[in-house]
Structure 1
Amino acid sequence: MRVIAGRLGGRRLQAPPGEGTRPTSDRVREALFSALGPLDGEAVLDLYAGSGALAIEALSRGAGTAVLVERDPRAVAVIRRNLEGLGLAGEDVRVRRRDALKALQNAREAGETYDLVFIDPPYRLAAGLGPQLASALAGVLRPDARVVGESDRRHVLELPGLTTTFERRYGDTLLRIHTA
């Protein structure tokens, strides 16, 4: 796995061990970031961050800040190694070890807002998480914010209340971009 483009393009990323984390493939990330376009200074929130590849790709392509949320301690360790190895560990990049819904609640309480949110939950849980995530997102999205949902085409991550502006399938992966 590698960073596809931007200032860190071509650099290698580690993935968490085991079957619990399924990193977004290079092909899907490339298609996603082509659809997103420029990320000039955007504030990014990466829920279910896994290896951190989505947030790292966003930072490589010009995003200004990123918060990566992951509850698995092994994945958090890999995220931290990836960030340190790429020289991204610092004030503009934070890693939070906690549940995604709790992280959204904490962000709302702290008054944090984001331009771009990645949601890539375990595929088997995606269909059941959508309504809760959509509700929790309401307090952290900036005007014109975009929310990227990745799920299995058989277990779709539905985010009620958000408008789907982009949808593509890549094998079994369904990728959607939403706006508030």
Structure 2
Amino acid sequence: MRVISGSAKGHRLKSPKGSAIRPALDKIKGAIFNILGDLEGMKVLDLFAGTGSIGIEALSRGAKLATFIDNSRPALQLVHHNLEKCRLADRGHIVKLKLPLELGHLPRTYSPFDIVFVDPPYDQKLINPTLRRLVREKILAPSGIVVIEHSPREKIAEDVGLTIIDERKYGQTIISFLKM
């Protein structure tokens, strides 16, 4: 797994042994960022951050700041290591919260975010509660975009307060783009 474009292009990111963390594949990551386009000056939030691969890619491509949230201390240690390795630590905030329950505990100085990446463990029914909490806590900027990587078995509910604007399928992965 590596950073595929921008200032940290080519840096290999440390990933865990085993399957507790499922990092985004380069093909999917590339597709997401090709669709999003220019990230210059944006604030991004990487929920269920795992290795930090998505938020680090955003920083490498010009995002101003990235906040990484996970409930796993080992995952957040990986994020810290990867930020340091890519020389992006000065633009990354790492926060340990139990998602989605504690999302409202995110310091208000961090939000609102222009882009929110949501990549929860598959088939754990975390997508809809997370989206509802994002809307309720006003974490997404009014013109912001939410990008969700999820299993085709998990459907986004119509009552989450966001509208699907695009959806792509890559094997057993769906990438959904939503806005207010």
Fold shared, TM-score > 0.5 on shorter chain:
yes
In structure 2, runs of 5+ residues without a counterpart are none
- Aligned partner of 1:113: which letter? P
Consecutive aligned runs of 4 or more in structure 1 exceeding 3 Å deviation = 108-111, 156-159
SS in 1 for 2:115: strand
The corresponding residue for 1:135 is: 132
Deviation at 1:80, TM superposition (A): 0.8
Contact 2:120 2:150 in 1 (8 A): yes
* Structure (1 or 2) with the greater helix fraction: 1
Contact 1:150 1:157 in 2 (8 A): no
Identical-residue share of aligned pairs (%): 37
Q: Distance in 2 between matches of 1:3 and 1:158?
A: 32
In structure 1, runs of 5+ residues without a counterpart are none
Deviates more, 1:135-144 or 1:63-72: 135-144
Deviates more, 1:29-38 or 1:67-76: 67-76
Contact 2:97 2:103 in 1 (8 A): no
SS in 1 for 2:74: helix
Deviation at 1:131, TM superposition (A): 2.9
Q: Distance in 2 between matches of 1:174 and 1:148?
A: 10
The one-character-per-residue Cα deviations of 1:104-153 (angstroms, maximum 9, x if unpaired) are 2013755721100000000021xx22332122111111121000011011
- Aligned partner of 1:46: which letter? D
Q: Distance in 2 between matches of 1:114 and 1:103?
A: 17
1:34–1:143: structure 2 CA closer, same or farther, 3 Å change rule?
A: same
SS in 2 for 1:167: strand
Contact 2:29 2:54 in 1 (8 A): yes
Aligned length: 177
Contact 1:156 1:174 in 2 (8 A): no
Find out whether 1:84 has 2:81 as its counterpart: no
Deviates more, 1:165-174 or 1:132-141: 132-141
**TM-score normalised over the length of structure 1:** 0.92
1:132–1:13: structure 2 CA closer, same or farther, 3 Å change rule?
A: same
